[in-house]
């Protein structure tokens, strides 16, 4: 599709994988002007038929049939990561732009092959690092780049994996437990691409895994990773056991610290200096007011239908950039960086698994 074609005709889209995350993509696509969902693909009949009916698209059992029959401009790859490389390569070789759910691939070698084919085919390869487009993260990154935090000191990211009788999609997802890193390989990319956004090019400095037990996760069920870049430090803590469910970050600067709650999209500036009693009172009042203001703002935006979350913002940016002939908001190189870090983590997890050294 040429630049002139993109400017004058709807962008046609096919979606591969009709599981948990597909609705977020399909809903976001349906809200975009000049974008038309023409096909959905899944090996399982029930989800593909349900998605096809809900979004007015053709239903297909395999990608090759959808590519031949519909010839979409863009393909979203929303399948388990074990199949990302194969499916993305097939779509790109057919001339389609591709947006892949995280992680981009299983190995750095696969990521390199995907980027090479994208260049040769003259198509865009984007990665869905959706939390980068959550309002709180975007505000935090903007403040860091504007110098409001001073010099970055460290970034700590915490992620609690939800395991419960009523909300455990991990226990019922065989493909997750088939990953070399298990549930950690499913969740860790989020924490790692957030670290990369703040630190630049993080490297793993140390790692600790432990088996506490009592969960459905085989092998180690608690993970801690220490990261470093040329200018700052970072840490990632991923827990199966901590309650309640929480995902968030602390971004420490020489002038200000940010407390970011990714579960509620709340961002609080920790800026009051000193340790006296009056200072503590002022600090508590300041943080309470920020939380109340943020909660009220989120409520108003939600009621007015103006609340946009990470997936929708990223997908909108992907198509805006595509029409302008620009690179994706998250490109293959950014995806490959995360894949490389995951490879290191899974090697440690494998060594710590029962029966290993």
Lay out the sheet containing 58-60: strands in order across: 58-60, 35-41, 11-16, 74-77, 97-101, 125-128
Residue pLDDT, tens place only, 224-271: 999 999 989 999 999 988 888 889 999 999 999 999 999 888 899 987
For the ranges 138-142, 206-210, 211-215, 307-311, which has the lowest average pLDDT?
307-311
Locate 205 and state its tokens.
């400095």
Measured CA to CA in angstroms, residue 194 lies from 56, 125, 183, 348 at distances of 35, 20, 18, 21
Dihedral sign for Cα 79, 193, 329, 300, please. Answer: positive
Buried/exposed code over 150-165 (b: 16+ C-beta within 10 A; e: otherwise): eebebbbbbbbbbbee
Strands (E), 197-275: 203-210, 222-228, 233-239, 247-253, 257-261, 266-270
pLDDT of 205 strictly over 70: yes
Q: What is the pLDDT of residue 7?
A: 53
Of the candidates 309, 338, 293, the one whose C-alpha atom is nearest the C-alpha of residue 346 is 338
Q: Quick one: how far is CA 178 from the chain centroid?
A: 20
Evaluate whether 199 touches 234 at the Cβ level (below 8 Å): yes
Evaluate whether 110 touches 139 at the Cβ level (below 8 Å): no
Of the candidates 171, 206, 201, the one whose C-alpha atom is nearest the C-alpha of residue 186 is 171
Of the candidates 114, 49, 40, the one whose C-alpha atom is nearest the C-alpha of residue 75 is 40
Q: Which residues contact 180 (CB under 8 A, 6 or more apart)?
A: 106, 346, 349, 350
Q: What is the pLDDT of residue 233?
A: 98
User: Mean per-residue pLDDT for 154-174?
Assistant: 69
Residue pLDDT, tens place only, 287-314: 788 677 777 766 666 666 655 689 999 9
Q: Which residues contact 7 (CB under 8 A, 6 or more apart)?
A: 323
Residue pLDDT, tens place only, 16-69: 999 989 999 999 999 999 999 999 999 999 999 999 999 999 999 999 999 999
Locate 215 and state its tokens.
């969960």
Q: What is the pLDDT of residue 165?
A: 38
Residue pLDDT, tens place only, 91-129: 999 999 999 999 999 999 999 999 999 999 999 999 999
């Amino acid at each position: 599709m040429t630049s002139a074609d993109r400017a004058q005709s709807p962008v046609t889209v096919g979606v591969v994988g009709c599981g948990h995350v597909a609705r977020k993509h399909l809903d976001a696509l349906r809200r975009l002007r000049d974008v038309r969902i023409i096909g959905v693909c899944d090996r399982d009949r029930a989800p593909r038929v349900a998605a096809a009916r809900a979004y007015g698209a053709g239903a297909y059992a395999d990608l090759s049939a959808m590519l031949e029959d519909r010839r979409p401009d863009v393909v979203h790859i929303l399948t388990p990561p074990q199949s990302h490389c194969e499916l993305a390569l097939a779509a790109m070789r057919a001339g389609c732009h591709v947006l892949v759910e995280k992680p981009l691939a299983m190995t750095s070698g696969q990521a390199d092959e995907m980027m090479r084919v994208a260049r040769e085919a003259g198509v865009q390869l984007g990665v869905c690092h959706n939390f980068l487009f959550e309002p709180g993260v975007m505000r935090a990154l903007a403040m860091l780049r504007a110098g409001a935090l001073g010099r970055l000191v460290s970034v700590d990211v915490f992620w609690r994996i939800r395991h419960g009788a009523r909300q455990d999609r991990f226990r019922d997802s065989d493909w997750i437990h088939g990953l070399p890193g298990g549930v950690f390989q499913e969740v860790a990319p989020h924490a790692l691409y957030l670290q990369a956004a703040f630190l630049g090019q993080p490297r793993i400095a140390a790692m600790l895994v432990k088996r506490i037990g009592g969960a459905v996760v085989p092998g180690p069920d608690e993970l801690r990773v220490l990261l470093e870049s040329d200018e700052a430090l970072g840490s990632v803590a991923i827990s199966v056991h901590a309650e309640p469910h929480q995902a968030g970050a602390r971004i420490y600067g020489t002038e200000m610290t940010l407390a970011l709650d990714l579960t509620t999209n709340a961002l609080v500036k920790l800026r009051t200096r000193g340790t006296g009693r009056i200072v503590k009172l002022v600090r508590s009042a300041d943080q309470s007011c920020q939380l109340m203001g943020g909660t009220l703002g989120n409520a108003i935006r939600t009621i007015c239908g103006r609340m946009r979350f990470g997936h929708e913002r990223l997908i909108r940016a992907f198509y805006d950039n595509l029409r302008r002939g620009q690179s994706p908001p998250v490109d293959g190189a950014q995806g490959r960086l995360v894949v490389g870090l995951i490879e290191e983590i899974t090697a440690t997890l494998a060594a710590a698994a029962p029966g290993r050294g």
